[in-house]
């Protein structure tokens, strides 16, 4: 028995020695390179950024279904000026709302809850366009009011831009028509002038012919 205990101690010391850090460094087998991750928001500026919970209305079940908890953003494109609403889930970053804010849209407070509002949108979160009734709930009344005011302001401003574009397009068409009419009038005037000149030339030629005939006749004998 006495001889067995020293052997156990020796074995334990050997195991402990094996677990000690020797200071050796092992190079990784595969070297991973840093990859740039794009979100699709690089060409947009964030107008609004708030935390919220999003729901969509399920028509088949006639009930609200949660889409996710995360950050809702209103993003304005740097070139076109169009604004879209994008919301991603906090942990997975999965898109749960993605649609343009159009002039025809309006957001309203949800009945019975001043922290919640609803609106209709043609959403593209699932990779295809779907007409959805969306509902969003914020942590405070102030955040909900801020969201509604900014949403409505953007919708109205987009409508003004569309009207300005239509007016500019109409003005361009009218200008083209006016230039075309002016060119047509100029052509008509030139044609009338050319006709009048041709008529005068013909009259001059017809008057000159009798004189020439008189000169060519031989003198009459006495």
Query: What's 106's domain CATH number?
Result: 2.30.29.30
206 within domain boundaries: no
Asked whether the beta carbons of 156 and 103 are under 8 A apart, the reply is: yes
174 within domain boundaries: no
Report the number of distinct structural domains present in the chain. 1
Q: Which positions ≥6 away from 55 have C-beta within 8 Å?
A: 64, 65, 66, 67, 134, 135, 136, 137
141 within domain boundaries: yes
pLDDT tens digits along 52-104: 999 999 999 999 999 999 999 999 999 999 999 999 999 999 999 999 999 99
- How confident is the model at residue 69, as a pLDDT? 97
26 within domain boundaries: no
In the predicted model, residues of the chain with pLDDT beneath 70 are 1-24, 36-37, 161-222
Distance CA(70)–CA(65), nearest Å, equals 15
4 within domain boundaries: no
Owning domain of residue 115: 44-155
CA 196 to chain centre: 60
48 within domain boundaries: yes
192 within domain boundaries: no
Beta-strand (E) ranges in the chain? 44-58, 63-77, 83-89, 95-100, 108-109, 116-123, 130-138
List residues bridging with 138 in a β-sheet.
52
């Amino acid at each position: 028995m006495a001889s067995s205990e020293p052997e156990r101690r020796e074995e334990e010391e050997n195991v402990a020695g094996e677990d000690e850090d020797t200071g050796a460094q092992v190079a990784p087998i595969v070297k991973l390179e840093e990859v740039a991750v794009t979100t699709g928001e690089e060409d947009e500026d964030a107008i609004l950024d708030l935390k919220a919970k999003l729901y969509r209305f399920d028509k088949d079940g006639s009930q609200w279904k949660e889409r996710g908890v995360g950050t809702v953003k209103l993003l304005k494109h740097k070139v076109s000026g169009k604004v879209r609403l994008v919301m991603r889930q906090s942990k997975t970053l999965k898109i749960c709302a993605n649609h343009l804010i159009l002039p025809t849209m309006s957001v309203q407070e949800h009945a019975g809850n001043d922290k919640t509002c609803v609106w209709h949108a043609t959403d593209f979160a699932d990779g295809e366009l779907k007409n959805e009734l969306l509902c969003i709930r914020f942590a405070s009344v102030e955040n909900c009011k801020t969201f509604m005011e900014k949403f409505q302001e953007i919708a109205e401003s987009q409508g003004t831009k569309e009207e300005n574009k239509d007016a500019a397009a109409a003005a361009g068409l009218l200008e083209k028509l006016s230039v075309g009419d002016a060119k047509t009038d100029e052509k008509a005037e030139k044609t009338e002038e050319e006709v009048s000149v041709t008529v005068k030339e013909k009259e001059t030629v017809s008057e000159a012919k009798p004189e020439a005939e008189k000169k060519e006749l031989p003198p009459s004998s006495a």
